[in-house]
Amino acid sequence: MGLNIAKKIIKEHLLAGEMVAGEQVSLKIDQTLTQDSTGTMAYLQLEAMGIDQVKTKRSVAYVDHNMLQEGFENADDHKYIQTVAQKHGIYFSRPGNGICHQVHLERFGVPGQTLLGSDSHTPTGGGIGMLAMGAGGLDVAVAMGGGAYNINMPKVVNVCLTSKLKPPVAAKDIILAVLAKLSVKGGVGKIIEYSGPGVASLFVPERATITNMGAELGATTSIFPSDATTKAFLRAQKREADWLPLTADDDAEYDEILEIDLSALEPLTAAPHSPDNVKKVADVGPIHIDQVAIGSCTNSSYQDMMKAARLLKGETVAPNVSLVISPGSKQVLTMLSANGALADIIASGARILEAGCGPCIGMGQSPATDAISLRTFNRNFKGRCGTESAQVYLVSVETAVASAIKGVFTDPRQMTADWQVEMPDEFLINDNMIIAPAADPATVEVKRGPNIKPFPLNTELPQKVVGEVLLKLEDNITTDQIMPSNAKLLPYRSNVPYLANFCLQPCDATFAGRAKKAGGGIIVGGENYGQGSSREHAALAPLQLGIKAVISKSFARIHKSNLINSGILPLTFKNLADYDAIKQGDELTIEDARAQVKAANTIVAKQASGLVLELELACTQKEKEILLAGGKINQMRQK
């Protein structure tokens, strides 16, 4: 049988293993990206490994998250990233140049290559035909050093798109429809590959919107073919030489097939507080709204911004609405300024933010108390916007602008407009905000501010693991809840000892204090524990607090990997009834822990009351070796 796109790329980059679903494969990584929220830790780890120059075809460090500089911390981190990048062969995208995924799509993405990024929305690159995956910072550091990326071979799901969208129905509505069908855990262990006649009707930025939010499915990545549309996009970016045709074989096999008739879709929204809580905009009704935010790595392309400008021209934002717009890159902002569209946006009463992540990660523009905020973003977890009581709905640009003008949640089909924005024949190219690595690395002094602290290291797994269940949590706990990432805490992403004080604060404000007093312990979670962002800090902060194991019904892929890299046992219940039996405050003991980890995938733990728990350690032999060493850095140092 023939190969699908994902397997073609994996086969080309396969260093070890077989392409059998569930079996571990080792992949060669062509490109990496980091952003400043996760990048500082990744580069500290790169230095700890003694890597002189990166071994990838291209590695890029972006600054797009920690943009508010209320003190020295963010500026210090930016200077550290810039200098460490110059010294070790990494390109540096300066603050203001744009969001990593948007800029990488514009300037660096290459069809058929592998991309590993320390950001969960790295699969955006799948819109251009890359096998682009999010990972923890340590995995990215290893890849920069020339090491393989190890992952369990995913299943490949074919989403066949038929017919065409009927504007103002948008690409955002396609991925929301997929989320409605599969849920936030429906993509775990899977690659989502798009095909069908409907693909040709979607521009690269529209495809990127879909692959970006594939992260919300829990998918390993999502990918589109590299076709004539891809070639036209790269030609417009003056990078036609990077184009490579890439499609699935006619007789390609898939593990699952899902068909979506684009002509049957209508405007959709993800209602609070989950991206898979999908409803029809028409069914939500004309409810009062308070804020609209347009941008993020999901919907901040030139075409997205031009749609907004076209609808806002000659209009005024409703008096009850605060409309904020953040272009995805300097390229986008420059083009809007040059063609007059920026003036139309500003004249409407919209507020222009710099090209960065901003409100999407809670970095400013938090809504008012109990406010309803419509956002073209990818996540609407409770409190992520910075206001615990706010109700955040995820929508397309078309729905966002129509609602901002009307002042109520509005189906964009109620407005008359020319919805189609063509891709320009040429984008304005000016890469003066991207700094190349130093010609002579020896001349570069790496700058380290006082806020940069050493990352925590675990110890070897002991013979006996004993710990109190410090906290019992429900399903779908996010990394935003495990390690909050708001505007007050983001400046301390290079200071894990400080951050650990806020670990799991949204779930239990007493957790960190109790963990310190107990000298560590165990966390119990439900289904899909650790969904959302790839942030490594959601494992490093528990490590700092002495957490020895996390027991859950199931884990999100990246968070499980981060726990393993930190030497924290990721265990799942073999009998789900045991989840109900465990209570906060119980003491659990794993006797002969090292022998159990070595011997089998079943780990036996005992409650002090006498209850025996059978737990599963679903890890490969390589991952077990990491756990025995007390984490990946320890293992590398031992070798």
Q: Could you tell me which residues come within 8 angstroms of residue 346 by beta carbon, excluding any fewer than 6 positions away?
A: 352
Which tens digit of pLDDT belongs to each residue from 567-602? Answer: 999 999 999 999 999 999 999 999 999 999 998 789
| Residue that has been written with the tokens 């002090």 in this structure | 608
Nearest Cα neighbor of 543 from 422, 441, 630, 435 is 630
Residues 211 and 231 in one domain: yes
Residue 509, domain member (yes or no): yes
Cβ–Cβ under 8 Å, residues 417 and 298: no
Residues 169 and 308 in one domain: no
pLDDT band at 67 (very low <50, low <70, confident <90, very high): confident
* Buried/exposed 455-471: b ≥16 CB within 10 Å, e otherwise: bbebeebeeebbbbbbb
DSSP conformational letter for 301: S
Residues 304 and 324 in one domain: yes
Looking at every residue in the chain, the average pLDDT score rounds to 95
The rounded distance, in Å, linking the Cα atoms of 283 and 267 is 10
> Residue 534: its pLDDT value, please?
82
> Residue 490: its pLDDT value, please?
86
Average pLDDT over residues 37-63: 94
Inform me whether the pLDDT recorded for 491 exceeds 90: no
> Residue 600: its pLDDT value, please?
77
Which tens digit of pLDDT belongs to each residue from 407-425? Answer: 999 999 999 888 889 899 9
More confident residue, 133 or 358: 133
Please give the tally of structural domains in the chain: 3
Residues 401 and 548 in one domain: no
Residues 188 and 58 in one domain: yes
Which tens digit of pLDDT belongs to each residue from 258-316? Answer: 999 999 999 999 999 999 999 999 999 899 999 999 999 999 999 999 999 999 999 99
| Long-range contacts of the stretch 512-515 (C-beta < 8 A, 24+) | 512/545, 514/470, 515/470, 515/542, 515/545, 515/546, 515/547
Termini Cα distance of the chain: 41
Residues 321 and 385 in one domain: yes
Alpha helices in 379-473 (DSSP H): 397-406
Residue 111, domain member (yes or no): yes
Q: Which residues pair with 190 in a beta bridge?
A: 155
> Residue 363: its pLDDT value, please?
82
CA atoms within 13 A on the CB side of 234: 20
pLDDT band at 322 (very low <50, low <70, confident <90, very high): very high
More confident residue, 231 or 492: 231
> Residue 515: its pLDDT value, please?
97
Which tens digit of pLDDT belongs to each residue from 334-355? Answer: 999 999 999 999 999 999 999 9
Residues 486 and 577 in one domain: yes
pLDDT band at 444 (very low <50, low <70, confident <90, very high): very high
Strands 91-93 and 58-62: parallel
Q: Which domain holds residue 182?
A: 5-264
Residue 196, domain member (yes or no): yes
| Long-range contacts of the stretch 414-421 (C-beta < 8 A, 24+) | 415/168, 415/311, 417/168, 417/310, 417/311, 418/310, 419/167, 419/168, 419/307, 420/167, 421/303, 421/306, 421/307, 421/310
> Residue 66: its pLDDT value, please?
86
> Residue 1: its pLDDT value, please?
79
Domain-terminating residue out of 395, 412, 429: 412
> Residue 559: its pLDDT value, please?
96
The rounded distance, in Å, linking the Cα atoms of 162 and 516 is 55
Residues 308 and 236 in one domain: no
The rounded distance, in Å, linking the Cα atoms of 55 and 49 is 13
Q: What would the 3-class secondary structure string for 268-279 be?
A: EEECCCCCCCEE
- CATH code of the domain covering residue 353: 3.30.499.10
Please tell me whether residue 208 adopts helix, strand or coil conformation.
Answer: helix
Give percent of the chain with pLDDT exceeding 90.
Answer: 90
Residue 428, domain member (yes or no): no
Nearest Cα neighbor of 150 from 22, 21, 24, 9 is 24
Residue 442, domain member (yes or no): no
> Residue 636: its pLDDT value, please?
85
Residues 234 and 313 in one domain: no
- The first and second tokens of residue 240, run together, are 């036609």
Alpha helices in 523-614 (DSSP H): 537-544, 557-565, 577-581, 593-599
Cβ–Cβ under 8 Å, residues 192 and 222: yes
The rounded distance, in Å, linking the Cα atoms of 465 and 228 is 57
Residues 548 and 469 in one domain: yes
Average pLDDT over residues 475-490: 90
- CATH code of the domain covering residue 489: 3.20.19.10
Which tens digit of pLDDT belongs to each residue from 226-274? Answer: 999 999 999 999 999 999 999 999 999 999 999 999 999 999 999 999 9
Residue 275, domain member (yes or no): yes
Residue 422, domain member (yes or no): no
Which tens digit of pLDDT belongs to each residue from 155-201? Answer: 999 999 999 999 999 999 999 999 999 999 999 999 999 999 999 99
> Residue 608: its pLDDT value, please?
86
Please tell me whether residue 426 adopts helix, strand or coil conformation.
Answer: coil
Which tens digit of pLDDT belongs to each residue from 101-119? Answer: 999 999 999 999 999 999 9
Residues 311 and 236 in one domain: no
Domain-terminating residue out of 264, 287, 313: 264
Residue 86, domain member (yes or no): yes
The rounded distance, in Å, linking the Cα atoms of 260 and 241 is 33
> Residue 302: its pLDDT value, please?
97
Inform me whether the pLDDT recorded for 639 exceeds 80: no
> Residue 114: its pLDDT value, please?
98
Cβ–Cβ under 8 Å, residues 133 and 123: yes
> Residue 533: its pLDDT value, please?
86
Residues 123 and 251 in one domain: yes
Domain-terminating residue out of 368, 383, 412: 412
